[in-house]
């Protein structure tokens, strides 16, 4: 394993283009539940109700109240060491993109700017008529909704939905095209905290591999993307990424800035 770690460090040290792809596991160490593990969201909430358009139209109050709870959980959470290292990577590489499946804002709060969110943003709401997107934090919304207090578009007065990509919906074109472009041209692809079970990783790993990139996966358990990785590091992201960063930069864990 040691020689593989050395090869990994060399690959990152010599790279000019890096593509990072993160999933729910990247935020687990910040206290946010994943979706498919034993204690995950979909064992508590039926995804057909809480993560489909039909479910929302049938139960808008229940769905919005689940997302309000999720917003409170996100607001209480803090970026972990993995978020911070990924944010620091931006300044090292001339060509860098972070694509996240996460709908929280922990990457942004850690300092990431060169990023796209392919599954939406838990803080957003979108008008079901004009499709304009608003930040729920800019409105005086109750902690718990009733049918009379559901969020409505300030322009159309039509019901708003969470700005989340639900099952059966398409990822926004701009985010997808940016991700495909970077996956197809990166020197190193770093896969963090995602099994790829739902999306199959959108083919990003296969594109990167086809173009000769070094594929590194950081995830405590194997997933369907592991077979494509040149190196799988079976550790939590908050443990593995600071060690990798220290090897690259000589900065120890205590040198990471506070979130």
Q: Is there a catalytic annotation at residue 119?
A: yes
In the set 119, 155, 228, 230, the catalytic residue is 119
For residues 163 and 158, give the distance between their C-alpha atoms in angstroms, rounded to a whole number. Answer: 15
How would you classify the pairing of strands 231-233 and 214-218? parallel
Pairwise CA distance, residues 244 & 12, whole Å: 9
CA end-to-end span of the chain? 32
Strand order in the sheet with 214-218: 115-117, 95-100, 17-22, 188-192, 214-218, 231-233
- Report the catalytic residues: 119
């Amino acid at each position: 394993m040691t020689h593989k770690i050395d090869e990994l460090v060399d690959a990152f040290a010599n790279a000019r283009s890096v593509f990072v792809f993160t999933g729910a596991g990247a935020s687990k160490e910040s206290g946010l539940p994943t979706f498919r593990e034993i204690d995950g969201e979909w064992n508590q909430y039926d995804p057909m109700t809480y993560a489909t358009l039909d479910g929302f139209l049938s139960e808008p109050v229940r769905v919005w109240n689940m997302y309000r709870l999720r917003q409170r959980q996100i607001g209480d959470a803090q970026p972990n060491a993995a978020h911070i290292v990924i944010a620091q990577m931006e300044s090292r590489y001339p060509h860098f993109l972070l694509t996240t499946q996460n709908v929280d804002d922990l990457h942004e709060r850690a300092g990431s700017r060169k990023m796209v969110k392919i599954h939406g943003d838990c803080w957003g709401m979108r008008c079901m008529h004009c499709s304009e997107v608003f930040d729920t934090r800019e409105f005086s919304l109750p902690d718990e909704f009733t049918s009379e207090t559901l969020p409505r578009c300030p322009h159309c007065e039509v019901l708003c939905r969470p700005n989340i990509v639900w099952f059966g919906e398409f990822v926004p074109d701009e985010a997808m095209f940016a991700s495909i472009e970077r996956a197809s041209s990166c020197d190193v692809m770093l896969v963090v905290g995602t099994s790829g079970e739902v999306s199959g990783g959108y083919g990003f790993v296969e594109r990167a591999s086809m173009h000769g990139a070094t594929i590194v996966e950081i995830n405590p358990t194997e997933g369907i993307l592991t077979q494509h990785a040149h190196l799988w590091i079976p550790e939590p992201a908050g443990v593995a990424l600071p060690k990798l960063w220290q090897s690259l930069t000589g900065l120890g864990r205590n040198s990471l800035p506070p979130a």
